[in-house]
Structure 1
């Protein structure tokens, strides 16, 4: 924005959307945001639940998957396919 603030309205969908659920946040609202992005061109959405140490992975044409084992490799969108990240590594970064 011209005034230096952060924009709150975006004209295009991101390629990848990542939401981190906070304790006071409504999971339904966050999920709706991810589904809205997928409907408009986003390749992949992650909903990270730090309290449960789980990652819900949303894709436009597949069922939602849940990753909650530390050794599980998280799926990546096509443009980040070379990135390898396990559930344990992700939560190691988030919970430091």
Structure 2
């Protein structure tokens, strides 16, 4: 089943609608439902969030949010993982995490699902970079590769034992082999 376009409305009207499961995104005036995450997607999402948060949350450097709605630049998308540096998290007056994030993540990660349109997913990463994100990963479990995007250079395709770029503030070293090794859960 492909992600389907549901209809065309203004962004403000979209943000007033109830959330859907799976999430819907607002892109170029259209409401597009994301596909339901499957096993490999969920496993990689959980492990990547845990790795980033283990390296960065305790020291209040950054936090990785799974499936967080981010609305900025005329779009409202739900990256698979949105990583924000601590000082950019728009905490409430009582130091709680807010419900609404109206800014781009510092680092966005998208994990390709079989039903997803590659160009739509990469388009979301590019939208984030064009509005202030510093890093984007496009994770493809089928090819065991990660396409890394940064604002200041061409995308880089990484596989095997190549070290993956992370935000310099986060003390984390990962290779593509390590990331895709998380898919193996038995003996």
Same structural fold, with TM-score higher than 0.5 when normalized by the shorter chain:
yes
Alpha carbons 2:107, 2:135 under 8 Å: kept? yes
135, 138, 143: which is aligned to 1:52?
A: 143
What is the TM-score when the length of structure 2 is the normalising length? 0.45
Instruction: Please state how far the C-alpha of 1:78 moved relative to its aligned partner.
Output: 2.2
What is the SS of the residue equivalent to 1:63? strand
Alpha carbons 2:148, 2:157 under 8 Å: kept? yes
Structure 2: runs of 5+ lacking an equivalent: 1-18, 20-66, 72-101
What is the TM-score when the length of structure 1 is the normalising length? 0.85
What is the SS of the residue equivalent to 2:163? coil
* Aligned residue-pair number: 90
Note closer, same or farther for the CA distance 1:23–1:13 as it changes in structure 2 (3 Å cut): same
RMSD across aligned C-alpha pairs, in angstroms? Answer: 1.7
Structure 1: runs of 5+ lacking an equivalent: none
What is the SS of the residue equivalent to 1:78? coil
Note closer, same or farther for the CA distance 1:60–1:22 as it changes in structure 2 (3 Å cut): same
Structure whose alpha-carbon radius of gyration is higher = 2
Instruction: Please state how far the C-alpha of 1:8 moved relative to its aligned partner.
Output: 3.7
**Superposed structure 1 runs of 4+ greater than 3 Å apart:** 5-9
